[in-house]
Amino acid sequence: MRSLFHKTIGFCLLGFAVVSCHDKGDPNYQYMPDMYEPVGYEAYGEYEVFENGQEAKLPVEGSVPRGWLPYDYENNPQGYQAAKANLNNPIPYTEENLAEGKALYTIYCAVCHGDKGAGKGILVEREKILGVPSYDDAGRAITEGSVYHVMYYGINNMGSYASQTTIKERWQIDHYVMNLKNKLEGKPEREFEEESEVQTSLLPSRADANLYDDADDVESEQANENNQTETQE
């Protein structure tokens, strides 16, 4: 009886030792692991398929992204002043565009510039960043063109938002920024416009190299399709 007891204790200790040596980081046995182990290449992985081992390939040299349009103002003081003086918001000042601009402003801008545009965002209040100006700063005298130019290239501690937003979204933010500026200056509320009152096409001088908004290219695509149809006929 005592021998059986000792054997039982011995087996228990042996089992405990075996279990305790198991590496919890190792995968367990899997039944039909097809969905657990992907067969596709990871976008940023390194593989021997290509010569440089890079899976994510760059666009072909000389290729142009769909919908690409140039931005005519350079990233220098002269370009900033030119955009400030000559560049105007091409999308209409509608309630919808202003509401969308407010939503985008809250996402990208309010953290530094504040909900009212007075330069008192949460990062400023916590002293994580300093020197954010108010939109009614007379020394800067921002305009639609200067606001867009700064969003496109960035300035000082503010980085570019050309990769995070489309051209239309930046112009919507532009409307909301100017709306905040008018409120800070005590100016009357600007009246909304009708869609048909303003030229809504985004001219090349008001476009950028990060345009991927298909909605803005519908008319041009239809025109191209019509031209191709006429050529085939």
Domains in the chain, please, with CATH? 77-209 (1.10.760.10)
Question: pTM to 2 decimals?
Answer: 0.63
3-state secondary structure of 207: coil
Which residues are within 8 A (CB) of 123 and not within 5 positions of it... i.e. 6 or more apart? 111, 112, 129
Q: What is the pLDDT of residue 133?
A: 94
Q: How confident is the model at residue 8 (pLDDT cuts 50, 70, 90)?
A: confident
pLDDT (tens digit per residue) in 149-167: 999 999 999 999 998 999 9
Range 171-187 average pLDDT? 97
Which residues are within 8 A (CB) of 192 and not within 5 positions of it... i.e. 6 or more apart? 93, 94, 95, 98
The C-alpha atoms of residue 51 and residue 162 are separated, in whole angstroms, by: 31
